[in-house]
Structure 1
Amino acid sequence: MKYFSIAIDGPAGAGKSTIAKIIAKKLSFIYVDTGAMYRAMALYFIRNNIMADDKDKIEEACNLVDISIEYMDGEQQIILNGENVTGLIRTEEVGNMASACSVYSKVRLKLVELQRSLAEKSNVVMDGRDIGTYVLPNANLKIYLTASSKERAKRRYLELINKGISADIDNIEKDIIDRDNRDMNREFAPLKQAEDAIVIDSSNMTIDEVADSIIKYYEKSVK
């Protein structure tokens, strides 16, 4: 049986994870949160006091990390060495570490194998930085989802404020721009638009509008 894969790439804060989850639910696909997998790896590094620029220790630690995905009540759970860390990986510190350590090929190769395996066994929606270009180059549908840095910073700012966390929108935008530069200029599998990807700029679109647009592309592709 041939399974269908949807790859959603784009910069930080473009809404990839939110959109991918909605699409997966509507299509009854499995949502594979690749960003969460990298964040789990980053959490392990932080807990073990490994610095982002310590390549040797990071590569050594990769051999000690096991990351898996489980579903509980229809919700994806990220398991790090047997511990459910789903509620611990969404901090700015973990996000920045995930971006910084993802430049190392050994980190990425360890996770890519699992991601490809999932796509071979199920219909999947996968989001990240290099899904359509590297992880799933033969994905049936590729989307490059983007938005302006100001709009992405605004979304993150409101998200933090709503959680009761104080934040500075200018610093958030600076972090986003810095992360974009790292992701786009890393040596191994950098963030870029796949040649056959459909570009969607969500700056002036609602979440539902973006999701509906991608589902229409899916429906067109399967006809």
Structure 2
Amino acid sequence: MVTIAVDGPSGSGKSSVSRAVAARLGLAYLDTGAMYRAATLWCVRTDVALDDADAVADAVRAMPLTSGLDPAAPTVSLDGTDVAAAIRTTEVSSTVSKVATNLEVRAELKRRQRAIIDDEATGGFSGGRGIVAEGRDITTVVAPDADARVLLTASEEARLRRRSLEVHGAADAAAVAATRDQVLRRDRDDSTVSQFLQASDGVVTIDSSELDLDQTVAAVLAVVEQVVPEAPSARA
């Protein structure tokens, strides 16, 4: 079984980097953060109060979620409807921590994430597809036995700039200010239930503050090559 686990705070670049690594190595790609966003959207659309922890947990356990694992075109569907764009709205971004810090929700989504990883990451590079899974607690909780475990970090300034460009298409003072709460508050809230600000034992830290996407992907591939040297694509 070949599994690559990538964690990191908001704006660290973990999604773009993980997708690129998965595509480079011919692996499946799982965005676990999208699952929490989808759970939030499901609760909103089914009129579940996000402050009602028990009701939220029940709703998420019943949630008809499908995650498409192609790194070139990952998909997220609820009850057969594509919600990839809907889960990235400001409404979801501003409330997702209420769902993500619900311990019963985390237990349910962890169960689903592990099932996906176990199903995809079989056979190794010689026979199976393998998977890159990214999120907040993949290296520590969901897949602590992953072949390669990486904590992707970046300075606060770099993370705010990247998220501002992603959300607002600009990184001027106004755009950064509008993004600050979404990035820093989410990190603060989510850090109460998962460890993604400091690397645990055996997890390699990569600081991407001064790296572009290609350089960061190369740094992750170097980690993979070191721990899984039989992966020929990692040296391509």
- TM-score relative to the length of structure 2: 0.84
* Deviations 1:148-206, CA, capped at 9 Å, x for gaps: 2221111121223339xxx63123123322111111123xx443522111111111110
The residue aligned with 2:164 is 157
Which residue in 2 is equivalent to 1:191?
Answer: 196
SS in 2 for 1:44: helix
1:103 aligns with 101
Aligned to 1:46: 44
Answer yes or no: is the 8 Å Cα contact 1:152–1:173 preserved in 2: no
Task: Identify the range of structure 1 (132-141 vs 170-179) with the bigger mean alpha-carbon deviation.
Answer: 170-179
State how far apart, in whole Å, the 1-side matches of 2:38 and 2:178 are: 24
CA distance in 2 between counterparts of 1:159 and 1:74 reads 18
In 2: Cα distance, 1:115 partner to 1:175 partner: 24
2:8 is aligned to 10
Aligned partner (choices 59, 67, 70) of residue 68 of structure 2:
70
* Partner Cα separation in structure 2 for residue 204 and residue 119 of structure 1: 31
Which of 134, 142, 145 is the aligned partner of 1:138?
145
Structure 2 partner of 1:113: 111
On the 8 A contact 1:143/1:199 being kept in 2, the answer is: yes
Q: How much is the aligned-residue C-alpha RMSD, in angstroms?
A: 2.0
**1:102-139 deviations in Å (ceiling 9; x for gaps):** 11122112221221122223201010000010000101
Q: Which runs of 5+ in 1 are unaligned?
A: none
In structure 2, the CA distance between the partners of 1:191 and 1:216, relative to structure 1 (3 Å rule), is closer
Q: Where in structure 1 do 4 or more consecutive aligned residues deviate above 4 Å?
A: 71-74
User: Runs of 5+ in structure 2 lacking a partner?
Assistant: 121-129, 230-236
Q: How many residues align?
A: 216
TM-score, with normalisation over the residues of structure 1? 0.89
Distance 2:5 2:217 in 1: 13
Q: 2:133 is matched with which residue?
A: 126
SS of residue paired to 1:7:
strand
Q: Letter of the 1:22 partner, please give it.
A: A
Distance 1:71 1:200, change over 3 A: closer
CA distance in 2, matches of 1:184, 1:208: 28
d(CA) in 2 for partners of 1:155, 1:74: 21
1:175 aligns with 2:182: yes
